[in-house]
Amino acid sequence: MKLFRCQVCDNIIYFENRTCGRCGHRLGYVPELETLTALEPAGGESWTPLAGKGAARRFCANADYDVCNWLTAAGGQDRLCVACRHNDTIPDISQPSHLVAWRDIEFAKHRLFYSLLRWKLPLKTRAEDPAHGLAFEFLADPPHPTGPKVMTGHDDGVVTIALAEADSAEIEKRRAELAEPYRSLLGHFRHEVGHHYWDILVRDGGRLEQCRATFGDDSQDYEAALKRHYEQGAPADWPERFVSAYATSHPWEDFAETWAHYLHIVDTLETASAFGVRIAPAVDREGAHFAKLDFDPYVVGTIGGIVEAWTPFVVAMNSVNRAMGRPDLYPFVIAPAVVEKLRFIHDLVRGLGRTSGIRTEGAEQLAAAAR
C-alpha cells in the first residue's frame, strides 16, 4: 500500500483515513487515480478532489455507515463505489455488533480491491456478467447455537465471508484448531478471490495446461482431496514444495494459497518501500541480508527480485515482532519450488505472456527501463 499526502497541508495520510489529522479536510479515495485526496465541498453531496483537478465526485453510499471512504462519479447512476458494487449480501446492520464486523470486513475488502485495481485485473459485477461476475456475501451465522455455521469460500465468482471471521476471539480459535500459523480477514479475501481469478485467467484464459504443469492436475476429485487432507494432514515434506500445509490439499487450493501469498508479499513490500525501509544489518559481513526497498513491486521487479527483497525484510520484521512478544509477521518459508509457483502468479497478474501463452520477462524489463 502506498502512503498518501494531504494536498492542503502536506501531512502524510493513510488509506483508511476519513479526515486529515492536521488540517481537518475530508479525505476520499479516487480509485481511477489510485490516490487518497483531500476534498473541498462542492454543494449538496458533491466534493471536489484536490488531486488530479478532477470533476466533482460523491462518496460511495456505504460511506453513510463509515465502512467506505471511496469516491464515485457525481451524478452517476451507481451510488456504490467500484469496490462496493460487488457486495451482494451484507449483514443485518441493525445489530451493532454486525456493523462493527462489517466495517472490519470492508477494510480488508478495500485493500484487496486496491491490489486488483493496481494490476487492472478484470472486474465484472454479477449484473455485468451473471455467470462469472465477482460478488460478495457477508453472512452472519444463524442465531441457533447448534445450527450450521457459515462457511467462508468461493463458488463460481461468489465469495462468501463468514462474519465470525471478523471476531478476533473466533479467528484465533479457528487458527489454533486448524493449526494455521496465520489467519486474517485480508488473508481470506486474497485466498478466495484467487479461486475466482483461476476461473477467469487460467481456466477461461487459455492457461490451464501451463497452470497444471506448475500446480499439478486439478482434475482430481476436489471433495475427496479435501476430505483426505482433513483426515490425514499434509505430507511431511510439504514445506519444500508448498507455501502452506493447506496448499497440499488440492491444486486449486495450492493456486489460491500461492495467489494470496503473492498479494501479501507485493502489498507488504509496497508499504515498506513507501516508508523507504532499508535492511542492512551491521553484523552481516557478506551482505546476504541486505535489502533496499525503493521500488513499486506492483509494476517493476522480476519474481526473483521480489523474493530477494522479501526474504531479508521478513527476517528483520519477524525479529522485530519477536522483540515485542508477537507472533512472526510472516510465519512461512518460501522454498525454491514455491518461487516457481509465485512466478506463475506474477506473470498472470502482470499480464505477461497472456497473448502468446509463453512467459516473457520482456515487458517487465521495459517497465523497469521506463522507470
Q: Interface residues with Zn ion (CB under 5 A)? A: 6, 8-9, 11, 20, 22-23, 60, 62, 68, 70, 81, 84
Which residue's C-alpha cell is 479515495? Answer: 29
Minimum CB distance to Zn ion smaller for 113 or for 252: 113
Minimum CB distance to Zn ion smaller for 6 or for 334: 6
The answer to whether the CB of 107 falls within 8 A of the CB of 77 is: no
Q: Closest separation between CB of residue 80 and Zn ion, Å?
A: 6
From the centroid of its chain, how far is CA 184? 11
Minimum CB distance to Zn ion smaller for 87 or for 244: 87
Neighbour count for residue 181 (Cβ, 10 Å): 12
Sign of the Cα torsion 122, 126, 128, 133 reads: positive
From the centroid of its chain, how far is CA 275? 19
Q: Give the SS3 label for residue 207.
A: coil
Rounded to 5 degrees, what angle do the CA atoms 26, 29, 32 make? 145
Q: How far apart are CA 74 and CA 48, in angstroms?
A: 10
Q: Give the SS3 label for residue 90.
A: coil
Q: Closest separation between CB of residue 236 and Zn ion, Å?
A: 45
Minimum CB distance to Zn ion smaller for 60 or for 293: 60
Q: Closest separation between CB of residue 6 and Zn ion, Å?
A: 3
Q: Closest separation between CB of residue 38 and Zn ion, Å?
A: 6
Q: Closest separation between CB of residue 54 and Zn ion, Å?
A: 17
Q: Closest separation between CB of residue 113 and Zn ion, Å?
A: 9
Minimum CB distance to Zn ion smaller for 100 or for 299: 100
Minimum CB distance to Zn ion smaller for 107 or for 290: 107
The answer to whether the CB of 343 falls within 8 A of the CB of 332 is: no
Nearest to 109 by CA among 59, 164, 184, 20: 184
